[in-house]
Amino acid sequence: MSVGLSPCIDIHTHVVPENFPPHARGAADVAWPSMAPAHTCHRHVMLSGKVYRTVPDTSWDVTRRLAAMDARRVSRQVLSPMPELLSYWLDGADGAALCRYLNEQIAGMVAREPGRFFGLGAVPLQDVDQAIAELEHLMGELGLAGVEIGTNVDGVVLGDPSLAPFFAAAERLRAAIFVHPLRPCGMERLVGPALLQQVLAFPGETGLSAASLITSGTLARHPRLRIALSHGGGTLSALLPRLAHAWRSLPALKETLPDDPLETARAFWVDSLVYDGDAIRRLIERFGETRVVVGSDFPFAIADADPVGRVRGLGLDARSEKLLFSENALRWLGSS
């Protein structure tokens, strides 16, 4: 393993199983995922009979994944499901069954290489009671570090009161939470190919979802939550000064929020997946150098191919570099 001078933990990497079990009832009208052959070393992820995405074998093959990590000087990865597999549009029972399969697959990868992988599971947030039960299982019996959740649950934003019991349980269980955009708002405003969803719609979706965790009081009520935002928190950095100004100026908002939103937002961790050194520096200024972690979106096409080089290019001192490369991630994971 060659990882350069500072061991690097990449918190934003995804897993797709090589295969999926058939739907329990064999229902043809359910958006249950399956896999189909593609070109060499790739498979098609099929949803509702259509190709959703073509993924490489590094999505499931541990040996190939380790070789890619070494080439990128990444010492450890945090594994989480491809977000579309969270499948909040399934009914509660189907969602729970799919999450259990995903969690067992990820736990198996971690068990094979515990020195290289941490694991985040999935829970069926469309049924909060089942989501809490699965969170307890994946952190207890399976030994995963926490959970990946989407920015909305089939249209319900994370700050909605219906999800409050889940966040209370996550705080109680000391689960690391990774928030990833999923089926973003604003798609009707995009002009161009479908891939612009990831390029242009993900940041706004992430920013609004994160803001809802502030304006709903979720972060204030649960100060021990450990939540990391993907894609650098999206537009949250730009939204925060506006929210803080409104908090100072508008009595109705100040009555709702006990603290300055700029300070509340520093409870989040954010990943470095913004593709630009100056943008990473702004994240450090906004959230603090103890709250920025490395993320790449491995193994997908939009991934940052050199997340270590991206951080090295900032010219940070040794202490700050170590924080970004590993120490911040370990605190978020609850491993330090």
Per-residue pLDDT tens for 243-293?
A: 999 999 999 999 999 899 999 999 999 999 999 999 999 999 999 999 999
Question: Helices (H) and strands (E) in the chain — how many of each?
Answer: 14, 13
Distance of CA 244 to the CA centre of its chain: 26
Q: What is the pLDDT of residues 49-84, one digit of tens each?
A: 889 999 999 999 999 999 999 999 999 999 999 999
Contact call for residues 81 and 122 (beta carbons, < 8 A): yes
* Cβ contacts of 300-307, under 8 Å, gap ≥ 24: 300/14, 300/53, 300/55, 302/195, 302/198, 302/199, 304/272, 304/273, 304/275, 305/72, 306/72, 307/8, 307/10, 307/72, 307/74, 307/272, 307/273
Rounded distance between C-alpha atoms, residue 324 and residue 231, angstroms: 15
Token pair belonging to 40: 């060499």
CATH code of the domain containing 241: 3.20.20.140
Nearest to 23 by CA among 51, 49, 62, 55: 49
Residues contacting 130, CB < 8 A, separation 6+: 92, 95, 96, 123, 124
In a domain, 267, yes or no: yes
Least confident interval from 41-50, 67-76, 94-103, 227-236: 41-50
In a domain, 214, yes or no: yes
In terms of pTM, does the model score above 0.85? yes
Q: What is the pLDDT of residues 158-171, one digit of tens each?
A: 999 999 999 999 99
Domain that holds residue 81: 9-25+58-333
Least confident interval from 5-9, 221-225, 256-260: 5-9
pLDDT number for residue 6: 67
Amino acid at 16: V
In a domain, 45, yes or no: no
In a domain, 218, yes or no: yes
In a domain, 287, yes or no: yes
In a domain, 172, yes or no: yes
Residue 135 pLDDT class (50, 70, 90 cuts): very high
Amino acid at 151: T
In a domain, 4, yes or no: no
Cα(first)–Cα(last) distance of the chain, in Å? 23
pLDDT number for residue 309: 97
Q: How high is the mean pLDDT of the chain?
A: 95
Quick check: 211 pLDDT over 60?
yes
**Beta-strand relationship, 152-153 and 156-157:** antiparallel
In sequence order, the β-bridge partners of residue 15 are 81
Distance of CA 51 to the CA centre of its chain: 23
Rounded distance between C-alpha atoms, residue 282 and residue 272, angstroms: 11
Quick check: 3 pLDDT over 60?
no
Tell me how many domains the chain contains: 1
pLDDT number for residue 130: 98
In a domain, 286, yes or no: yes
Amino acid at 247: W
Q: What is the mean pLDDT of residues 11-40?
A: 90
Quick check: 26 pLDDT over 90?
no
Rounded distance between C-alpha atoms, residue 136 and residue 144, angstroms: 10
